[in-house]
Structures are given as C-alpha cells and as structure tokens.
A and B are shown apart, each in its own frame.
Chain A
C-alpha cells in the first residue's frame, strides 16, 4: 500500500510546517499536519524511536515554586494533556470540613470556612504523598466520622480571641497595637497530629501553611473564633483549592524572521517594538556587505537589527503596525516548542509535579488499556 521508501521533508520545509504564522490581523497555518496520508509519499506513522530522537527538553529555571522548561518536538494535544493534568488531576491536601464551635467575628461562618479552604498547606512530603490516602465520604445515615482515619484525615484547630492590649497607649489608633490578635493569620492554625501522623509530620515536617502571613479574619476585643478543621486529599477537578499549581501554562516559542535589512534609525525603532533583549543592534559587517543580494551592500558600518533572543518576545505584533517594516519582518511561533511555566503552591516541587503529570497520564492509559481488553472479552 504505502511506498517502501518515504521522502523526508527538507529542513526548510520542516520549519515552514512547524511555524504558526502571526500576521497583522490574522493567524495562519494553525493545525498540525504530521499525520499519515497528509503529504503524499511521506511517512508520518507514529514510531517511538522517531519520537525519541525528535523530542528534547531544555530547562530554563528550576526553583521549588517556579520551574520553566521547554518541551520540543511534541504535539499540542500531548503538551496540553500534561498541562491539564497538572491543574486538575494531581492530588493535594486541603481543608475540606470546618467545624465551627464559635464565631463571633464579622466574617460569616460560610465565608470563613471558604477562606480557610483556600489556604495552601505544606508538610512532610513522604507523609503527604505516600502515607495519606483518599478519604471516602460516609454514606447517608452512616456515622459522620465513620471513614475518618489518621491516614486520610488531618485535624487542624484555630482558637483565637481578641483582647485589649493593656500596655498600649489609650490614644493608640492602630488595632494591631491596641489589641492582641486583631488579625487572625494562617500561622495561628494549629496542627493536631493523630495516630501515626506523629511519625510523618513532626518537627519541620509538621503540617503548616505555606505562607504564614495569609490574613484570615480581623477581630475586635471580645470577638472569638473557635473551630476545628479536617483536611482531606482531593483533586483540582473537584475544587480548585486542591490544585497543586498556582499556574501551569505553556506558550509557543516566538519566531522573528527579518527578511530584509532594517538599518539605522529604523533599526532602533524596530528594537523598541519588542520587549528588552529581543532585538539587538549590530554594525553591518564586511561579510554582510560582500554577500550579493543581501540588501546590506553599501551600508558597511551602519547599525542593523538582529534577533537576539526571540524567547523573550511577547508577540505583541507592534512591529507589524509600522509601514517602514512592511515586508521586512515575519512573525510566527514554533508549533512544537512549548515553553512550560509551572508554579507550585508548595505541596510538591514544580519539577516533581511535571513528572507526576507524566506518570499520571501513563497510569490512566494503562488502566484504560486493561479496560479495553476487558470490554472485548
């Protein structure tokens, strides 16, 4: 059926196919075309060897709460699957139930409970990722705590009462100085270990808010908040408080192609059309001038615009708005170059999160493969 020998596209053609055009008012060439049968005589059948050789990763930044890297040579559908899993399917621990004993603050119970739920927590990784497991809600009619164990429920308490600071000057206007506990912060939440939790979450591994300075409520003297909380594991698809990332996003690598020379004052103006560091200014070299048809002939020593770092570009298309650059520049994006940016909320390291998302997709496929086999039987 298929020809035994397959033609491979030239590097130039490959780049053209992998460039999404960004034009003045439109975008062009937006869909992937790497499918069998799309180009006559070319082989685009999936092969893991081919994928392995074409795929690469570049790291740009790797901090616990902020990682950035490029996935190169992968389709948007796969990159997007990883991104979606990062946001919605990787479990974290968050406050799920709030048992309010007393709340005389001006914040209503349900608002307070919601605010508490959104506070990100951290703790011993081994305990959070391996020891703690899913919690199953008891069925209707069952005891409320029937399913609560040390391996699926973490208990926290918050007991704060605002009092007058006797040492403060009578004319003191700052509530923080005039009263004790005028502000309730995340650091006031106390972790109450139960059962084997003491093994996993003690000392520096204690369950604690990622940011101790999150303001939860404001109080005035004699007002009090007295409550207990249960944390469970959950996923972002259920509630975004369970999402392990603040942001997980990707953008395609911007491409700037200067097709005809941009010189002198124009070059400086051209540079200002882009964020800092994207366009550089260099003198026209002897080599440029000697190249016939390059357009640099007779401009030796003048300033020319060159692309220094297109990754920093925001693709604002400002350059396309000016008549002097018309026909001199082409903007685009690499279809298969994804610059990922992952900011963790603290329960995982950002790079670990990505690995987890890959693992997650694999497990999903593995389970479904078995299901397909079961289905056919």
Chain B
C-alpha cells in the first residue's frame, strides 16, 4: 500500500528551499520580527505535513488477521500497543516483534474474532491516547496538591 510518496517528495523539495534563508545572526536589522514569526509558524505546520508513511500492512494479511509494519518504532510503543489491543475482547491474538535489531522496524500481528484487524489497531491507538490523558491529568492534580502540601514552589 504505497501511500503518498509523491506528496512527500514535493514536501521535502519545498523544505530544501527553506535552507536558503540566511541565519538571522547575519540578517540585516531591517527585517521585522513579525515576518520571522510567520516563517516559524509555517514551519511547524509543515513538520506535520511532511511526515512519511510509517505504517503498512504486510503481504498475506486478511481482514481479520493482519500484520502491520511500523517503521521507526520499537518496544516502547510495541509493547504498550500490544497490551491495549489484547484488552479488546474482539481480538483473538495480538503480539509484536522486532524482527531484526539493526532494522528500525516493529511488526504487530492482530487476529480478530469480530471486526477487522485495522479497526482493532485504530481502537488500540485511540485507547492509548485516552490512557495518556488520564495519567497526565491525575499526575498534574496529584503534583499540585503535593506541592501545595509540602510548600514546594516552582
């Protein structure tokens, strides 16, 4: 499933143009700060756009039994995602593997009783985001009350 290789190339060639901007250390004083801020904001938007396709379905996959290959992901996401997908009652089997340590690839295998493997993967990723929200929120409030109690000001 070769996704959007074309647009990526466009994006990176566009990015190359940005390199022609001189370092601001050498900039004439005349250039106003506003314009610079605009350029920075633009860059941030671009960063999200040029993200290359890092997930693909491996050959031999069916709707209910599929393997996915994640590029540039490792045990950090692999094991967390495996756990949360295994918590889905529609999932018959889920496991992850890093086939070779010198290749930056992580494979996830999902087999489902019900629904598609892709949907199980999507649900896993969104459940993981919900978990992060809960953890961050509880950590925040617990820290605030601990700091107030201990008189820590930072």
Closest residue of A by beta carbon distance from B43: A133
Is the Cβ of B143 less than 8 Å from the Cβ of A195?
A: no
Is the Cβ of A374 less than 8 Å from the Cβ of B142?
A: no
Q: Mark A354-377, 1 if CB is under 8 A from B, else 0.
A: 110011011011111101111111
Could you tell me which residues of chain B, from 68 to 88, have a CB within 8 Å of some CB in chain A? 68, 70, 73, 75-77, 79-80, 82-84, 86-88
Contact of A351 among B118, B127, B143, B150 (CB under 8 A): B143
Q: Given that A44-B87, A149-B23 are known contacts, is A369 also in contact with B40, CB under 8 Å in the complex?
A: no
Q: Given that A80-B79, A361-B80 are known contacts, is A46 also in contact with B87, CB under 8 Å in the complex?
A: yes
**In the docked arrangement, what's the CA distance between A196 and B125, Å?**
39
- CB B116 to nearest CB in A, in angstroms, measures 9
- CB A125 to nearest CB in B, in angstroms, measures 11
Q: Mark A60-92, 1 if CB is under 8 A from B, else 0.
A: 001110000101001101101110110011000
Is the Cβ of B131 less than 8 Å from the Cβ of A359?
A: no
Is the Cβ of A2 less than 8 Å from the Cβ of B128?
A: no
**In the docked arrangement, what's the CA distance between A371 and B79, Å?**
19
Contact of A147 among B3, B19, B70, B89 (CB under 8 A): B19
Interface membership of A325, Cβ < 8 A: no
- Of the listed residues A78, A80, A147, the one surrounded by the most CB atoms of chain B closer than 10 A to its CB is A78
**In the docked arrangement, what's the CA distance between A177 and B40, Å?**
51
Is the Cβ of B23 less than 8 Å from the Cβ of A145?
A: yes
Could you tell me which residues of chain B, from 8 to 35, have a CB within 8 Å of some CB in chain A? 19, 21, 23-25, 27
Chain B residues, CB < 8 A from A58: 142
Q: Given that A35-B87, A351-B143, A374-B53 are known contacts, is A48 also in contact with B127, CB under 8 Å in the complex?
A: yes
Is the Cβ of A358 less than 8 Å from the Cβ of B139?
A: yes
Is the Cβ of A81 less than 8 Å from the Cβ of B140?
A: no
**In the docked arrangement, what's the CA distance between A35 and B89, Å?**
8
- CB B101 to nearest CB in A, in angstroms, measures 13
**In the docked arrangement, what's the CA distance between A374 and B84, Å?**
22
- CB A225 to nearest CB in B, in angstroms, measures 25
**In the docked arrangement, what's the CA distance between A252 and B27, Å?**
55
Interface membership of A104, Cβ < 8 A: no
Interface membership of A45, Cβ < 8 A: yes
Is the Cβ of A367 less than 8 Å from the Cβ of B89?
A: no
Interface membership of A343, Cβ < 8 A: no
Is the Cβ of A372 less than 8 Å from the Cβ of B135?
A: no
The count of chain A contact residues (Cβ–Cβ below 8 Å) is: 69
Closest residue of B by beta carbon distance from A373: B122
**In the docked arrangement, what's the CA distance between A237 and B20, Å?**
29
Q: Mark A250-290, 1 if CB is under 8 A from B, else 0.
A: 00000000000000000000000000000000000000000
Chain A residues, CB < 8 A from B87: 34-36, 44-46
Q: Given that A195-B25, A364-B77 are known contacts, is A372 also in contact with B121, CB under 8 Å in the complex?
A: yes
**In the docked arrangement, what's the CA distance between A349 and B153, Å?**
12
Is the Cβ of A52 less than 8 Å from the Cβ of B134?
A: yes
Interface membership of A39, Cβ < 8 A: no
Chain A residues, CB < 8 A from B68: 372
Interface membership of B129, Cβ < 8 A: yes
Is the Cβ of B152 less than 8 Å from the Cβ of A62?
A: yes
Is the Cβ of B147 less than 8 Å from the Cβ of A62?
A: yes
Q: Given that A2-B89, A147-B19, A375-B56 are known contacts, is A368 also in contact with B125, CB under 8 Å in the complex?
A: yes
Interface membership of A59, Cβ < 8 A: yes
Chain B residues, CB < 8 A from A200: none
Interface membership of A316, Cβ < 8 A: no
Interface membership of B62, Cβ < 8 A: no
- CB B123 to nearest CB in A, in angstroms, measures 9
Interface membership of A103, Cβ < 8 A: no
Chain B residues, CB < 8 A from A163: none
- Of the listed residues B80, B128, B152, the one surrounded by the most CB atoms of chain A closer than 10 A to its CB is B80
Contact of A365 among B40, B54, B125, B146 (CB under 8 A): B125
Is the Cβ of A51 less than 8 Å from the Cβ of B134?
A: yes
Chain A residues, CB < 8 A from B135: 55, 57, 71, 74, 78, 82, 358
Closest residue of B by beta carbon distance from A143: B19
Is the Cβ of A349 less than 8 Å from the Cβ of B24?
A: no
Is the Cβ of A48 less than 8 Å from the Cβ of B130?
A: yes
- CB A74 to nearest CB in B, in angstroms, measures 7
Closest residue of A by beta carbon distance from B71: A371
Q: Mark A18-58, 1 if CB is under 8 A from B, else 0.
A: 00000000000000101111000001111010011001111
Name 11 A/B residue pairs within 8 A (Cβ), A-sorted: A1-B114, A34-B87, A35-B86, A45-B89, A62-B147, A84-B75, A133-B43, A149-B21, A195-B24, A369-B126, A375-B56
Known: A45-B89, A351-B139, A365-B128. 7 other contacts (CB 8 A): A1-B114, A32-B83, A35-B86, A45-B87, A51-B134, A81-B79, A368-B54
Residues of A within 8 A of B (CB): 1-2, 32, 34-37, 43-46, 48, 51-52, 55-59, 62-64, 69, 71, 74-75, 77-78, 80-82, 84-85, 88-89, 133, 138, 142, 145-151, 194-196, 349, 351, 354-355, 358-359, 361-362, 364-369, 371-377
